[in-house]
Structure 1
């Protein structure tokens, strides 16, 4: 007997808002018992500016969580505490390694209740951290959204979070839509599945348009140097000053080092939902389909294969959302249904169109990452080289930790950025049904067989190799070339 199709309501998921809360998040905790938390959160920007955040938190009383009652209150407490946490860690010239009990103890209790790790996650900075300006207007309208909490108080930081909020709101209706498609596929309703896929393709197209609005009000320099450092976790952050991670001191037991990834869009349950219902499978970064098949054939009853970064990020989602994805994963049937009905041109086209839209969205995301992180890291590297290798940066964080190789750049979640993003994009096209669509989505259009030359020609030691008209030139701290962006 097939397992039932999950009901979103059983996981706290709204048919309209999706993974956003059914009601707008609380702007403050109602019980005055938590006034000190709210006071610090409200003054986070001046406390960070004056470098006084750590002294204030060290004097903060250790408050019990017994006065938190509703889910909305627990979520608000989490938002407040993780913003204070990251301000405490990254709000000085060097990151703070030890977290005091007055922050550790309530944070652990809140995180246990919400089933999230003690670090700023996508849920904390996006899903539970917004308010509609006009409650009667939709949350997928960026002109109707504001942030509850930021580190910098800047429009850029608010916009960075709110673009994701709008995407979540716009994608929310796709959840019941695709559950309907799964149920229809079980009973062979080809027309219903086709119509659902057509609607999903349109939603994905609209989500991509929202993603591209990031450029409207979020400046790349401000993001890289002012916002991104506060979002960093403690995993793979040796270059940023946390070689061992963080010591969460509960005042009772000797603290041990813990490492967590920071907030990442890979923690969006919505994006992973799209992958699951469309049958997109992601492998560990650097592992090809051939590698995976070879390993599976040789492993047989041996140890299970390791999961990739995307699957690992489910551990950073709220518990109910994580379980929802697991349950949907166990019943997903759209890809095999379309494959079994590949003679239906409308169905096949609708499915491949969804993959195309999802791949395009990932393409646009890579472009954003390139502009906001890769290019900015090169600017920072040139600035550090101009200042001299013997001079230490005044502040150590994710913005000043600049590796020589852009392939080694880490996201706030701790993963190698570009290899991960490009592989995730390429994997999106692999399930395509039509042979031409599969080739186009998996590998791109056929290329003329000329030898390829690097556009940038950048070497691991930072110097630039001239490779003809498609190469680069340097002048002082600038670089460019006829074919070089």
Structure 2
């Protein structure tokens, strides 16, 4: 959790963009959303004076961008320059690709209902609301076999980009727990995917994960001292991570996989990040539970 609450709005220079983001569900219920985006004034990058404002800008641009992509029956193969250029530039400032990622979707997307009270359940709400079905990415998406072109972004050279969609795998929490406990996963497609997800995390979060992974090994320490009570505590920690993964698998099966089976237009076994998530979650659960230490 960041030490300051997320910035809730952009300055007046970018009010038109901020207003569209705040009222996105209403805009999506109306017609001609893509046309409305094309009519927005140029985004003023110079008006972003703080890290908080930059992160707010990434949130607003990312949600508008995803809405632009999926607001009509046919996917957009080109993001117009009025949106693509500031999205790309702000993405560089936060160190992430120009697509909605977990940091904007979750980490920067809350406020306190009562500012004088703590950050706790019952006192937080979403800054940015959305409609379902708009967070799938460009990669492994049959609607976008050639990716998405970011018009006017010279650095990309007119190439169709295949960015991953928002997914909980872009959170640093579980990778950091794996690093602390020395939980390792086979170097297969899943492992490669999870390493790729670090490209979508805030750079400071990636540095923290790497520091934990490369720092002193808690697992080696527990094995070296050979104390039963310490081994028991360590194993309980590993088992809790395994339990979390088991619960995650259960919820994913119940609320994502099973629901998608009922909707013929949705890829039933593919997550928003473009992966067969049920297979991966089950595998990680099993690998975690196998990595306790000998008491």
Q: TM-score, normalised by structure 1?
A: 0.58
RMSD of aligned C-alpha atoms? 1.7
Residue 44 and residue 258 in structure 1: after superposition, are their counterparts in 2 closer, same or farther (change >3 A)? same
Q: Give, in whole Å, the separation in 1 of the partners of 2:202 and 2:173.
A: 12
Taking the TM superposition and a 5 Å limit, the aligned residue runs for 1:9-408 are 20-29=1-10, 31-139=11-119, 141-152=120-131, 227=132, 229-238=133-142, 241-250=143-152, 254-285=157-188, 307-342=191-226, 344-381=227-264, 400-402=265-267
Deviation at residue 136 of structure 1 after TM alignment: 3.4
What is the Cα deviation at residue 416 of structure 1?
1.0
What SS is found at the alignment partner of 1:123? helix
Please state how far the C-alpha of 1:52 moved relative to its aligned partner.
2.3
Q: Which residue of 2 aligns with 1:447?
A: none
Distance 1:286 1:72 in 2: 35
What is the CA distance between 1:309 and its match in structure 2?
Answer: 1.6
Gaps of 5+ in 1: 1-19, 153-226, 288-306, 382-399, 404-408, 436-485
- For the residue of structure 2 that corresponds to 1:77, the secondary structure is helix
How much does 1:434 deviate? 2.6
- Alpha-carbon contact 1:233-1:260 (below 8 Å) kept: yes
Q: Is the 1:245–1:259 Cα contact (8 Å) retained in structure 2? A: yes
Q: Mean Cα displacement is larger for which, 243-252 or 94-103?
A: 243-252
Give the TM-score normalised by structure 2: 0.94
Change (3 A) 1:34 1:358: same
Q: Following the alignment from structure 1 to structure 2, what is the Cα–Cα distance between the partners of residues 332 and 412?
A: 35
Q: Provide Cα deviations, 1:414-441, integer angstroms capped at 9, x if missing partner.
A: 1111111111111212321037xxxxxx
1:286 to partner: Cα distance? 6.4
How far residue 111 of structure 1 moved from its aligned partner, in angstroms, is 0.8
Contact 2:24 2:64 in 1 (8 A): yes
- Distance change in 2, residues 1:402/1:316 (3 Å): closer
Task: Name whichever of 314-323 and 246-255 sits farther off.
Answer: 246-255
Q: Offset at 1:274?
A: 0.6
CA contact (8 A) 1:51 1:91 kept: no
Structure whose alpha-carbon radius of gyration is higher = 1
